[in-house]
Amino acid sequence: MTHQPDSPKATAEVIATGALAADTGVDASEVAHVADDIGAQLMQVQAEVAELKDAWLRAKAETDNVRKIAQADVARAHKYAIERFAEDLLPVRDALEKTLAAGGASLEALTAGVELTLKALQSAFDRAQVVEVDPAGEKFDPHRHEAMQMVPSDLPANTVVDVFQKGYLVSDRVLRPALVTVSSGSPTAA
């Protein structure tokens, strides 16, 4: 009695196996065995592909989460970056308000209060790495100075003669350039 296939697919496989065996001269059972091996390898490869796809999707989701967290951290850093500096400035404001409130104070007392306030402000600047730029006598640097005018001088050309307004740096980055007068070289004879 011959084996009856259970489904149309199985019937097609039996016919294909028989046809391949007849064409190649190889025994049908051997062809069926090779087909089974190929089918098993195909299933194994499909399982690996599914596993790798799952791992890739998980890695992609993790990367997206890390990116979102980093963006949130940067947004918080921008939002609260000034907080520490503002805390350092509060005592300066308090001192200025006390100075203004001292109506009958002597000039010496007011001067002493303003000097202490300036020291508190300088301390806040130091903690925030705000550095004063006072370039009198230095070579003109267009990255840190803004020339308001050029004047004849005994100083070498491109030397800062006078400072109208001090500049400031924050961690070596120009916050405000110094406004200066620059020497054009030797004075002209009059």
How high is the pLDDT of residue 4? Answer: 52
- What are the 10-residue block averages of pLDDT along the chain, 190 residues in total? 54 60 68 85 95 96 96 89 87 88 83 90 91 92 94 92 94 93 75
How high is the pLDDT of residue 35? Answer: 83
- Which structure tokens are listed for 139? 């070579």
The values of phi and psi at residue 2, to 5°, are: -90, 155
How high is the pLDDT of residue 189? Answer: 47
- What is the pTM for the complete model shown? 0.57
